[in-house]
């Protein structure tokens, strides 16, 4: 079984995806981790790589080609990737979202901003700008709305949840699908 996670930054896709992979004994793959490594290898920030991706899709294509390869050759995976639902059409697809201010607080707490915002309002603006750029990028590349919940089998709002609570909800859903 392959489980794909999509969703908004700070909603829990990586944390929950990793925890689900551990619970199931599956491998975990994160497109964001791969993109961060590509950026480091180029000596630039992830934000700079994402700006480059607006006019040069080669970094997206590298990650996407790896997902295509994995879909052909591997099983028992949990994948955190905006376009995972697209490249793994037979996967169990999970979308996580949360209130943008909560997501900004979570990302600030984890120091997950290269821009080093001073407060939640500044962080919210950075998230909005990033997500708008990502939406345009993947619409242009694949004709996909990466934030459309209709692509997914389970859509969860994690605003009031801890990671453990969301993991429990997702695991119950997965378990219900395995038994069928």
For each of the domains in the chain, give its residue range(s) and CATH number, in order of start: 2-178 (3.40.50.300)
Please tell me the number of Cα atoms within 13 Å of 17 on its side-chain side: 31
Indicate the pTM of the whole model: 0.86
- Residue 27 to residue 2: CA distance in whole angstroms: 10
Residue 7's pLDDT is 95
Residue 115's pLDDT is 66
Strand order in the sheet with 27-30: 27-30, 77-80, 2-7, 92-97, 154-157
Residue 114's pLDDT is 63
Residue 56's pLDDT is 80
Residue 179's pLDDT is 64
Query: What does the DSSP 8-state code read for residue 88?
Result: -
Q: Mutual orientation of helices 46-53 and 31-42 as an angle, nearest 10°? A: 100
Beta strand extents in 92-138 (DSSP E only): 92-97
Q: Are 16 and 170 in contact (CB under 8 A)?
A: yes
Query: What does the DSSP 8-state code read for residue 149?
Result: G
Strand (E) or helix (H) holding 77: strand 77-80
Give per-residue pLDDT as tens, 69-109: 877 787 899 999 988 999 899 999 999 999 999 999 888 78
pLDDT < 70 regions, the chain: 112-117, 179-180
Residue 120's pLDDT is 85
Instruction: Give whole-number Cα distances, 135 to 83, 87, 98, 152, in Å.
Output: 11, 17, 17, 17
Residue 148's pLDDT is 95
């Amino acid at each position: 079984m392959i489980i794909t996670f999509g969703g908004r930054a700070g909603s829990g896709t990586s944390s929950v995806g990793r925890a689900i992979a551990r619970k199931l004994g599956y491998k975990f793959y994160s497109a964001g981790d791969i993109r961060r490594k590509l950026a480091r290898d180029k000596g630039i920030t992830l934000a700079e790589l994402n700006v480059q991706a607006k006019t040069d899709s080669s970094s997206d294509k590298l990650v996407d080609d790896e997902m295509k390869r994995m879909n052909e050759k591997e099983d028992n995976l949990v994948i955190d990737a905006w376009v995972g639902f697209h490249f793994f059409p037979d996967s169990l697809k999970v979308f996580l979202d949360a209130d943008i201010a909560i997501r900004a607080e979570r990302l600030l707490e984890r120091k997950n901003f290269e821009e080093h915002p001073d407060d939640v309002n500044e962080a919210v603006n950075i998230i909005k700008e990033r997500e708008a750029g990502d939406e345009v990028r993947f619409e242009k590349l694949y004709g996909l709305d990466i934030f459309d919940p209709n692509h997914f089998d389970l859509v969860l709002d994690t605003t009031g949840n801890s990671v453990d609570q969301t993991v429990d909800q997702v695991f119950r859903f997965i378990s219900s699908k395995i038994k069928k």
